[in-house]
Amino acid sequence: MSAPFRLMGIVNVTPDSFSDGGEFLDAGAAVEHARLLVEEGADILDVGGESTRPGAEPVGEVEELRRVLPVLEGIAALGLEAEVSIDTTKASVARAAIAAGATIVNDVSALRADAGMAELVAESGVQCCLMHMLGEPRTMQADPRYTDVVDDVKAFLDERMAFAVAAGVEERRIVLDPGIGFGKTVQHNLELLRRLGELTQLGRPLLVGTSRKSFLGRIAADVLGHAEPEPTSERLEGTIATNVLAYERGASIFRVHDVAPLRVALAVTAATLGGRWTPTDATTT
């Protein structure tokens, strides 16, 4: 029986991502990391060559292509049993990635950054993920404000989905992401997670990406009595908690760094909420 959720393993080919910047900048290291993520249970590999951390500076098209193409080609050569997603806002990068085997475009700008992206997605027939972000990575955490964060995010995603469909993208190929950490305070993130079920009313699968994000480090620091946020390496517990909560509230795709522990946590959650579990042998209790 297939799992009622999908895990998107993160493959950052960047020198400045907040959690693992530079660790997989070498193409060979990134491809090996992708292989390990699939071995741990990743259903999707999300390859990105431009950091979207708060304050990140834009990366040019040539440099982004230089980073991601060898990784995409290396993944394709391995024949891994996982879909490949390209995390980009540039139509030219997405086009090259699709030619190299990507079947999902993960656009954090929700088709706003590049006028050619919607047409490319429509013509190629790939899936796309539309994410909410207030402003751009460089400025998104500069005093973000909402009338009601859930209502505002919901209205934005509804409008961007309508835009995509009008441009020829099939609605069944659209995934929506509320953009946890993208132009949100700690309280905004928590409110989105608490009321995530309201976004399921849009009728499309929800992707959630809380993995190792700073709001988890801040909450953990408060619990432990530390002055500074806990480092990214100490945010697994918070990542698990938020993804379990998100699954219970209707999310079905989870973008994570740590695939193996999240796979187990979500499997237990799914078995509990579903009220059933199919054992693989007769020795289980």
Phi, psi (deg, nearest 5) at residue 104: -135, 135
172 by Cβ neighbours in 10 Å (0-12 / 13-18 / 19+) ranks as: exposed
CATH class, 6-274 region: alpha beta
pLDDT of residue 277: 63
pLDDT of residue 226: 96
| Tens of pLDDT, residues 259-275 | 999 999 999 999 999 96
Instruction: Give the residue-averaged pLDDT of 82-102.
Output: 98
User: Look-up: residue for tokens 């979207």?
Assistant: 52
Cα gap 16→209, rounded to integer Å: 18
- Active-site residue, from 212, 235, 255, 263: 255
Q: Is the pLDDT of residue 21 over 50?
A: no
Q: What is the DSSP letter of 205?
A: P
User: Look-up: residue for tokens 């991601």?
Assistant: 68
Q: In sequence order, what are the beta bridge partners of 208?
A: 254
Confidence at 24, pLDDT banded by 50, 70, 90? low
Catalytic, 213? Answer: yes
Across the beta sheet with 104-107, what order do the strands follow? 174-177, 127-131, 104-107, 83-87, 44-48, 6-12, 253-256, 207-208
Catalytic, 184? Answer: no
Domain boundaries along the sequence of the chain: 6-274
- Active-site residue, from 213, 235, 249, 263: 213
Instruction: Give the residue-averaged pLDDT of 72-83.
Output: 96
In sequence order, the 6+-apart residues with CB closer than 8 A to the CB of 181 are 54, 189, 209, 210, 213, 214, 215
